[in-house]
Amino acid sequence: MKQRLVTGLIAGIFFLALLILGNYWFTAIIMALAVIGFDEYMRMLNLKQSRLLYFFGLVGVIIIAAPWHQFGIEQSLSWEKIIWLFMLLFLTTTVVTKNKVALNQAGLIFIGIVYLGLGFHYIMETRLLDSHGLFWTSLVLIGIWSADSGAYFGGVLFGKHLLWPAISPKKTYEGAAGGIILAVITVLIFSYTHSDLLSIGDAIILGIVIAIVGQLGDFIQSAYKRTYGIKDTGTLLPGHGGVLDRVDSWLIVFPFVHFIALIPHI
């Protein structure tokens, strides 16, 4: 427990400092997390030994994740074209290797570069929003953490009815409700302090979405960890697991709130 607390405190202070600094500082840490997260993903799939797949996948995550406009590089291809070209690349790999790279392997890595690439991309792009990037990034992150805390304490104090025991045996409906309530309260506080950026009605909707989608992200990771029989995706953070153990909800929530325009467009 002591190791977990010390690790969490140090990592939290370091991350918070870079979040406040923003710009290239924040981009650097998130890109580093994207690369480490991809390495954890490949280890989990037992595919790291396939150098060709690892190289293509890593390049895919970097290309999709990077906020190229921050470096003065304009994105000439749309997202659907970029993703389609990577799909073609992985399918072609199965052909040129004469099925030494199996279709299911190529498919899993393709899913990985979209899941990780777009997830980390929208974390960085949120921070890069003009003038209010820190506000929106902090809102989403604290909203996610509030939902996690509310779900934990709601489950401990009131949990009786299991939500999805086949995937996550300890989560309850009462915990999920606690997560939604605390997330909504948290986002309403942000609305109160910045009413010019976020109305009360939009805050309630955003809080509900962050809580529900964040818990879905947690279930997604629980499902694939259970599939591969692992407890943690990595050992980067002693007592906390790997990168993917810490950012599972982030990778789903940040793209989602942009796609349905709950926070300003990039």
Q: What is the pLDDT of residue 239?
A: 61
Decide: 197 and 130 in contact? Cβ < 8 Å: no
Q: What is the pLDDT of residue 115?
A: 96
d(CA 91, CA 121): 24
Q: What is the pLDDT of residue 238?
A: 65
Angle at 66 between CA 134 and CA 15, to 5 degrees: 40
d(CA 249, CA 218): 6
Q: What is the pLDDT of residue 1?
A: 56
| Per-residue pLDDT tens listing for the chain (266 residues) | 566 676 778 888 999 999 999 999 999 999 999 999 999 999 998 888 788 889 999 999 999 999 999 999 988 888 899 999 999 999 999 999 888 888 999 999 999 999 999 999 999 999 999 889 999 999 999 999 999 999 888 888 887 777 777 777 678 888 889 999 999 999 999 999 999 999 999 999 999 999 999 999 988 888 888 888 888 787 776 666 789 988 999 999 999 999 998 988 65
Where does residue 115 rank: exposed (0-12), middle (13-18), buried (19+ CB within 10 A)? buried
The residue type of 21 is L
Q: What is the pLDDT of residue 233?
A: 83
d(CA 129, CA 152): 32
Residue 199 CA to its chain's centroid (Å): 26
d(CA 115, CA 220): 11
Where does residue 204 rank: exposed (0-12), middle (13-18), buried (19+ CB within 10 A)? middle
Decide: 155 and 170 in contact? Cβ < 8 Å: yes
pTM to 2 decimal places: 0.92
Q: What is the pLDDT of residue 221?
A: 87
Q: What is the pLDDT of residue 244?
A: 92
Q: What is the largest CA-CA distance in the chain?
A: 60
